[in-house]
């Protein structure tokens, strides 16, 4: 395992814990502790946290009669709520975490700039990227691929809580769905597998950033990095 700089993409669902939606304090503290354990292994860490535990534009917007742009803005605000929460939890673990946002909100988080972000990483501060890309019509997966590219990340870890890797079909719906241990970017793009956002895969393919998809509830970040969990996408 030759990884130094990591991009963790964590679904908002990781904060839900035993609740149905929103934020469960136990789930947040557990996640923060696990991130600290990873940090203690000397990695440089950037985190993109989703907002799906609070609001997903494309899912909840239409039901509310809200157009896509505004609905996605609400989704991006949800990532700020999650990001602030995780930042505080990581700080309680004794590690300095910086919250940077692409959606300007200066009283809550510092505005994202590449130069500052790189300085933080080198100083081994954990950087949490909030506000997505700052633009509607994207997801936090795409944002994560973008930040992974900007950081020069050695790997993109997509951390879910629902499935433990990449399957030929949704294993919760299709009993004989086949799990892939390793796939190429092209296979993922050709098969249009829902677990990964295709924009994110395309960017990682161009930048040659390997993607590992794994279930946070099935084991540690380190086990995922060692290849013991989930599925890998590479060239
Ligand atoms: N979002 C957006 N632009 C971005 C990133 C996110 O508009 O660059 C919005 C979008 O509505 C999305 C929501 O924020 O549904 C929450 O992000 P996502 O669904 O990716 O969260 P996750 O599923 O990872 O929890």
Question: 1 pLDDT exceeds 80?
Answer: no
Q: Which residue has the tokens 């994202």?
A: 112
Question: What is the distance in A from the centroid of ligand 1 to the CA of 92?
Answer: 26
More confident: 156 or 195: 156
Q: What residues does 233 pair with on adjacent strands? A: 183, 211
Q: What is the CA radius of gyration of the chain?
A: 17
Report which of 186, 155, 156, 181 is spatially closest to residue 166, judged by C-alpha positions: 181
pTM for the model stands at 0.97
Q: What is residue 85's predicted lDDT score, i.e. its pLDDT? A: 98
Residue 16 sits at the vertex; the CA angle it makes with 14 and 19, to the nearest 5 degrees, is 150
Q: In the chain, what percentage of residues exceed pLDDT 70? A: 100
Residue carrying the six token digits 């597998």: 193
78 lines ligand 1 (CB under 6 A): yes
Smallest CA-to-CA distance from 12 within 1, 3, 21 is with 21
Q: What does pLDDT average to over the chain?
A: 96
Question: Is any ligand 1 atom within 6 A of the Cβ of residue 147?
Answer: no
Residue 190, Cβ density class (10 Å: 0-12 exposed, 13-18 middle, ≥19 buried): exposed
pLDDT at 107: 97
* Closest by CA position to 136, among listed 80, 75, 81: 75
d(CA 223, CA 233) in angstroms, rounded, equals 16
Q: For the chain, give every domain's residue range.
A: 5-233
Q: What is the pLDDT of residues 66-106, one digit of tens each?
A: 999 999 999 999 999 999 999 999 999 999 999 999 999 99
Q: Which of 51, 59, 73 to mutate to test the pocket of ligand 1 (most atoms within 8 A of CB)?
A: 51
| Reported confidence tier of residue 193, pLDDT bands at 50, 70, 90 | confident
Task: Tell me which residue of 168, 157, 125 sits closest to 11, measured CA to CA.
Answer: 157
Ligand 1 contact, 76 CB (< 6 A): yes
| Beta carbon of 11 within 6 Å of any ligand 1 atom | yes
* Half-sphere exposure of residue 68: CA atoms within 13 angstroms, side-chain side: 6
pLDDT at 62: 96
- Give pLDDT tens digits for 23-71: 999 999 999 999 999 999 999 999 999 999 999 999 999 999 999 999 9
How far apart, in whole angstroms, are the C-alpha atoms of residue 137 and residue 124?
A: 32
Q: For residue 29, give every residue at least 6 positions away whose Cβ sits within 8 Å of its Cβ, in sequence order, or none.
A: 89, 92
The distance of Cα 78 from the centroid of its chain, to the nearest Å, equals 14
- Report the chain's terminal Cα–Cα distance, integer Å: 17
At 88, list the tokens: 């505080």
5-233 carries CATH number 3.40.1160.10: yes
- What number of CA atoms fall less than 13 Å from residue 185's CA on the CB side? 17
Which residue's C-alpha comes closest to atom 22 of ligand 1? 50
CA distance 214 to 41: 19
């Amino acid at each position: 395992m030759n990884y130094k700089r990591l991009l963790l993409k964590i679904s908002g669902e990781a904060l839900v814990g035993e609740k149905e939606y929103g934020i469960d304090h136990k789930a947040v503290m557990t996640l923060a502790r696990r991130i600290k354990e990873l940090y203690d292994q000397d990695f440089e860490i950037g985190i993109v946290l989703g907002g799906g535990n609070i609001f997903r534009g494309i899912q909840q917007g239409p039901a509310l009669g809200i157009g896509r742009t505004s609905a996605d803005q609400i989704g991006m605000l949800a990532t700020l709520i999650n990001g602030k929460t995780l930042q505080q939890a990581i700080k309680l673990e004794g590690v300095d975490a910086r919250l940077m946002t692409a959606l300007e909100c200066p009283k809550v988080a510092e505005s994202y700039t590449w130069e500052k972000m790189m300085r933080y990483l080198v100083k081994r501060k954990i950087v949490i990227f909030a506000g997505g890309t700052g633009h509607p019509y994207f997801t936090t997966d795409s944002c994560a691929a973008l930040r992974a590219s900007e950081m020069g990340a050695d790997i993109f870890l997509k951390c879910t809580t629902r499935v433990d890797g990449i399957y030929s079909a949704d294993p919760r719906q299709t009993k004989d769905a086949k799990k892939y241990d390793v796939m190429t970017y092209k296979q993922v793009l050709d098969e249009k597998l829902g677990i990964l956002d295709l924009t994110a895969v395309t960017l990682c393919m161009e930048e040659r950033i390997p993607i590992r998809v794994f279930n946070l509830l099935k084991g540690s970040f380190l086990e995922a990095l060692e290849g013991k969990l989930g599925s890998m996408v590479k060239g």
